[in-house]
């Protein structure tokens, strides 16, 4: 029973984490789904009164199964309540009825009085909240009396079009009943990035058009396919709607980045994690970024005054890393490399480390390749075994990321890191939960001081290591629904 409770708690924490992260990165969640989940979790301790009449604003049934978007087919007329308000107090009444007035995309709250009187206007009310004069709250009723406005309800024939519907309302009306409806996406500059499921692919172009229409600033909608192409095994991006322009410009934590989203790796949901690690870096420190991508760790750290050696195997990531260093005016503080991760550790890092360990400024090694980074820790075995250990040890701090599907992900990643290093890290490290990337799959970060016995040990790993695969930077990281 105790294990069952712990499992339930983990699932709830993961669910809450997904809601929190989605809110940070503009991912849209279906409010009704969240409402149902919390209601079922709270029952029978809490009775929740629904605030939304389910059939209200529902598009005509004829749109069900539509695969090519026909905006005119969504047009309908509904009747909504209204108050007849004198012009002189109109603004005050609208302000007082903010919670009860209609709130739909593109629908005005105030319209011309149907009697065409120049002295009055109609304030349209939300039919979900107001069905009779008694529906007004005490505060609202008191305000109406103070402005000498009658609570008598009038009715207005409101024409609703496609433009007045939300994306989830359109998709719920079109997709087959009982199937998953998604309007979730990751925003990368002007690009909306979706991970559609198989049953949604028939409607992919319609979904793309709806997402673009309903999200200002989005001019391209793409879907990650399962087709892998190019030497670097990038997941091909299929354009669902809009322009085929993959060069995005984004701003994260005050830093501007530009890159070709179809050829490098970028995840907007890692913004908080980038900031968390960068805040550990001080002016004068040195950072070795083994899998640097386009620079989300390296560039902010350089702006703080640290010296950076940043590496990436993907030539496109390397090129955009250099570009972004210039864009943010830190090119003098960042040395960029285009090497395999192990070659970077056994080359530039090995060459620079002895001198840095004789200094007093901190040394950080960032290894953000969750699918494989833990396996790369073996590159540190015996790295400096031909050298004498310095008297005053200034050992590097390693921040290594990994995925875990284990029920105890903290223990799992520590054990895997220990095996790779050939040194027990239990009680010698800290583990940070980064995010839930898929059902029962967590991204974790292990932080530890690189052991002296590992660096200067004589048992250097002589066996042929697993090479860093070319899938490294784009999309190998989260092959399930994780981006």
Domain residue extents for the chain: 2-55, 76-160, 167-245, 267-455
Say if 76-160 and 167-245 have the same CATH topology: no
CA distances from 240 to 160, 206, 265, 358, 482 (A): 26, 8, 20, 55, 19
pLDDT computed for residue 327 by the predictor: 98
SS3 214: helix
Domain 167-245, CATH? 3.30.300.110
Angle between helices 167-174 and 204-214 (to 10 degrees): 160
One of 3.30.70, 3.30.160, 1.20.1070, 3.90.79 is the CATH number of 76-160, namely 3.30.70
Q: Do the annotations mark residue 453 as ligand-binding?
A: no
Q: How far apart are CA 346 and CA 344, in angstroms?
A: 6
Number of Cβ within 10 Å of residue 39's Cβ equals 13
The set of long-range contacts for 411-414, using a CB threshold of 8 Å and a minimum separation of 24, is 413/374, 413/444, 413/446, 414/446
pTM above 0.75, yes or no: yes
pLDDT computed for residue 9 by the predictor: 54
CA distances from 84 to 140, 156, 157, 210 (A): 15, 11, 14, 35
Q: Which residue has the tokens 């007045």?
A: 164
Residue 480 has which token pair?
């399930």
Q: Do the annotations mark residue 213 as ligand-binding?
A: no
Residue 199 has which token pair?
């049953």
pLDDT computed for residue 391 by the predictor: 64
Q: Do the annotations mark residue 349 as ligand-binding?
A: no
pLDDT computed for residue 460 by the predictor: 54
pLDDT computed for residue 42 by the predictor: 35
Q: Do the annotations mark residue 377 as ligand-binding?
A: no
Residue 73 has φ and ψ, to the nearest 5°, of -70, -15
HSE of 473, CA atoms in CB hemisphere, 13 A: 32
pLDDT in tens, 59-81: 899 999 999 999 999 999 999 99
Q: Do the annotations mark residue 274 as ligand-binding?
A: yes
Quote the distance between the C-alpha of residue 244 and its chain's center. 22
Share of the chain above pLDDT 70, in %: 81
The dihedral region occupied by 278, where left means phi > 0, alpha psi between -120 and 50, and beta the remainder, is alpha
DSSP H or E segment with residue 17? helix 2-24
CATH architecture assigned to 267-455: 3-Layer(aba) Sandwich (3.40)
Residues of the chain with pLDDT under 70: 1-56, 226-235, 391-392, 459-483
pLDDT computed for residue 179 by the predictor: 80
CA distances from 8 to 16, 406, 410 (A): 12, 15, 17
Q: Do the annotations mark residue 267 as ligand-binding?
A: no
pLDDT computed for residue 50 by the predictor: 31
Q: Give bridge partners of residue 81 from the DSSP assignment.
A: 155
């Amino acid at each position: 029973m105790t294990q069952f409770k712990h499992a339930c708690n983990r699932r709830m924490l993961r669910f809450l984490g997904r809601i929190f992260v989605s809110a940070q990165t503009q991912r849209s969640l279906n409010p009704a789904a969240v409402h149902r989940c919390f209601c079922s979790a709270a029952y029978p301790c809490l009775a929740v009164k629904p605030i939304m009449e389910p059939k209200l604003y529902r598009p005509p049934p004829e749109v069900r199964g539509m695969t090519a978007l026909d905006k005119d087919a969504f047009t309908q007329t509904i009747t909504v309540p209204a108050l007849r308000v004198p012009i002189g107090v109109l603004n005050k009444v609208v302000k007082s009825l903010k919670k009860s007035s209609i709130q739909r995309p593109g629908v005005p709250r105030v319209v011309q009085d149907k009697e065409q009187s120049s002295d009055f206007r109609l304030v349209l009310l939300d039919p979900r909240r107001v069905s009779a004069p008694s529906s007004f709250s005490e505060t609202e009723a008191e305000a109406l009396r103070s402005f000498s406005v009658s609570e008598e309800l009038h009715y207005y024939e409101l024409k609703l079009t496609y433009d007045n519907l939300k994306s989830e309302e359109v998709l719920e009306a079109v997709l087959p009943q009982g199937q998953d409806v998604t309007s979730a996406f990751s925003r990368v500059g002007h690009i909306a990035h979706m991970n559609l499921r198989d049953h949604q692919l028939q409607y992919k172009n319609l979904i793309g058009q709806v997402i673009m229409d309903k999200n200002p600033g989005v001019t391209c909608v793409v879907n990650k396919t399962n087709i892998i192409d190019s030497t670097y095994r990038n997941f091909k991006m299929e354009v669902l709607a809009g322009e085929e322009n993959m060069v995005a410009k984004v701003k994260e934590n005050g830093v501007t980045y530009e890159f070709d989203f179809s050829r490098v790796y970028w995840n907007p949901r890692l913004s908080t994690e980038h900031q968390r690690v960068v805040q550990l870096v001080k002016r004068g420190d040195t950072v070795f970024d083994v899998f640097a991508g386009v620079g989300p760790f390296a560039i902010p750290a350089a702006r703080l005054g640290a010296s950076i050696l940043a590496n990436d195997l993907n030539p496109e990531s390397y090129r955009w890393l250099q570009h972004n260093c210039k864009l943010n005016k830190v090119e003098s503080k960042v040395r960029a490399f285009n090497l395999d991760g192990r070659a970077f550790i056994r080359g530039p890092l090995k060459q620079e480390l002895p001198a840095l360990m004789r200094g007093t400024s901190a040394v950080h090694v960032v290894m953000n390749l969750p699918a494989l980074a833990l396996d790369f820790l073996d590159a540190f075995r015996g790295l400096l075994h031909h050298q004498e250990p310095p008297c005053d040890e200034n050992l590097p701090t390693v921040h290594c990321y990994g995925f875990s599907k284990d029920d105890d992900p903290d223990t799992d990643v520590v054990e895997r890191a220990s095996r790779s290093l050939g040194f027990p890290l239990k009680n010698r490290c800290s583990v940070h939960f980064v995010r839930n990337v898929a059902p029962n799959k967590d991204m974790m970060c292990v932080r530890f001081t690189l052991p002296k016995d590992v660096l200067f040990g004589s048992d250097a790993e002589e066996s042929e290591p697993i090479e860093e695969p070319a899938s490294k930077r784009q999309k190998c990281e989260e092959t399930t629904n994780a981006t």
